[in-house]
Amino acid sequence: MKVLVTGVDGYSGWPLALHLLHRGHEVVGIDNLVTRRRVAEVGSQSATPIRSMSQRAKSVQKVLGKTLRFYRGDLCQWEFVRDLVRKEKPEAIVHLGEQRSAPYSMIDVHHAVQTQVQNLTGTLHILYAIREESPKTHLVKMGTMGEYGTPNVDIPEGFFEIEYRGRKDKLPFPRQASSWYHWSKVFDTGDVMLANKIWGTAATDVMQGVIYGTRTPDIDRPDFLTRFDFDEVWGTALNRFCVQAVLGLPLTPYGKGQQKRGFIALEDSMQSLTLSVEHPAAPGEYRVFNQFDESYSITDLAQLVVKAAREDLGVEAEIHNSYNPRVEAEEHYYQPHHENLIRLGYHHLRELRQSLTEILTDLQKYRSRIESHRHVVMPRMNFRSPDNRDPLHIPAEKA
Ligand SMILES: NC(=O)c1ccc[n+]([C@@H]2O[C@H](COP(=O)([O-])OP(=O)(O)OC[C@H]3O[C@@H](n4cnc5c(N)ncnc54)[C@H](O)[C@@H]3O)[C@@H](O)[C@H]2O)c1
């Protein structure tokens, strides 16, 4: 199958491209390399030393004897997207090429606007390019579990049945995002649903849980490493906890630390996306997959990292709950469902405990890269309005 991966230079796009190549698919990748620039903008870098896209494509040729055709380009340029889809006519597009950091979207008005305008523009361009140039293409669109928020009822996969004032319907489950970034994903979902309704675009909308890990079987060599972000803007809580443990800093869950989220290993996310591609939505079908394995609270994660650091590195890490810069429920019900991928044959491959050993080992190996950036790990930014902040909050650079 010919698959176009947008965001192929990213944390998940790069291992996905390698995984699809391994499985015999033809892969075309596009990226404008903006995550590299945005991470540098906040004074950070990937903990893993990643190669440039041209070096990566060369290694693919040399090591795998396969060709990864890479186009450097911006999804916000309509002619670029249209011409690419016209030329390649992929059977599937896996759309990962978006701004993916909630804190980045909350920096100021410009970052909020950039996130929403660029994410929605890219998605609309892809939808129109499919309609005009390749209507049979199946779109696998990467959304996020964060679209649902934390409702006090179970979270279904996209739709739920409801009875209201004596009448019944099957409706999209309400979205309650908590950052400008997460709302951009909700708006994307609306656009993908509309394209399906009016043009019959076949689409899988993936509600992706937080991904963790530095390794998959496909990237287990230095020239195939994928990025690993650890600063407060780009790093997930788990990534930051691992870096804090390695650097001898306290682990800092925000607030009470009882916020729960769905998590999935990088290898399992690749498996899930591949299943979505290889078992496409039927023509005219719109389906939603909740893509995660386990739910953990932020405190669970911090405790697991403390244990792994003790057992794997002999390091005694401490947990210091910190001020919560986000506006979110710190204790809540959380019961999302995930059955659709299991029905397609999904089975859990990599345990969190194993991934923690790999992450901690890799961070030790590239310690100098995180050591020189230790100042970017602690929280400095804030989602709240200035008059709604905890007066005790001291930005890390002044602490
Ligand atoms: N990593 C996670 O834990 C996670 C969780 C839920 C959802 N997601 C979603 O998965 C997708 C991929 O995430 P990731 O972690 O690989 O992010 P990433 O930032 O590492 O990768 C995204 C890639 O897309 C590229 N890109 C961004 N905007 C572009 C544009 N306009 N034109 C061309 N290329 C562009 C970036 O340069 C980057 O290489 C994103 O849509 C993200 O929102 C990720």
pLDDT (tens digit, 9 = 90+) per residue, 61-83?
A: 999 999 999 999 999 999 999 99
% of the chain beyond a pLDDT of 90 = 93
Question: pLDDT band for position 398 (50/70/90)?
Answer: very low
CB 118 near ligand 1, within 6 Å: yes
Mutate to test the pocket of ligand 1, among 45, 85, 94, 100 (most ligand atoms within 8 A of CB): 100
**Catalytic residue check, 181:** yes
Q: What is the pLDDT of residue 239?
A: 98
Radius of gyration of the chain (CA): 21
**Residue having the nearest C-alpha atom to atom 12 of ligand 1:** 96
Which atom of ligand 1 lies at the shortest distance from residue 118's CA?
A: 31
Burial 316-341 (b: 16+ CB within 10 A, else e): ebebebbebbbeebbeeebebebebb
Q: What is the pLDDT of residue 249?
A: 95
**Catalytic residue check, 185:** yes
CB 155 near ligand 1, within 6 Å: no
Mean pLDDT of the chain: 95
Of the residues 144, 150, 204, 252, which is catalytic?
Answer: 144
CA distance 24 to 331: 45
Mutate to test the pocket of ligand 1, among 4, 34, 231 (most ligand atoms within 8 A of CB): 34
pLDDT at 183 over 60: yes
Question: pLDDT band for position 29 (50/70/90)?
Answer: very high
Q: What is the pLDDT of residue 346?
A: 97
Mean pLDDT of 40-69: 97
CA distance 165 to 385: 38
pLDDT (tens digit, 9 = 90+) per residue, 5-14?
A: 999 999 999 9
Mean pLDDT of 116-143: 98
pLDDT at 393 over 70: no
- Indicate the pTM of the whole model: 0.96
pLDDT (tens digit, 9 = 90+) per residue, 345-355?
A: 999 999 999 99
Domains (ranges, CATH) in the chain? 2-380 (3.40.50.720)
CA distance 246 to 205: 36
CB 31 near ligand 1, within 6 Å: yes
Burial class for 220, CB neighbours closer than 10 Å (0-12, 13-18, 19+)? exposed
Question: pLDDT band for position 384 (50/70/90)?
Answer: confident
Q: What is the pLDDT of residue 394?
A: 45
CA distance 56 to 35: 16
Q: What is the pLDDT of residue 55?
A: 97
CB 210 near ligand 1, within 6 Å: yes
CB 201 near ligand 1, within 6 Å: no
Q: What is the DSSP letter of 75?
A: T
Gap from CA of 32 to ligand 1 centroid (Å): 11
CB 208 near ligand 1, within 6 Å: yes
CB 34 near ligand 1, within 6 Å: yes
Of the residues 148, 185, 260, 274, which is catalytic?
Answer: 185
Q: What is the DSSP letter of 312?
A: I
pLDDT at 381 over 80: no
Of the residues 11, 104, 181, 286, which is catalytic?
Answer: 181
Q: What is the pLDDT of residue 397?
A: 45
3-state DSSP assignment of residue 112:
helix
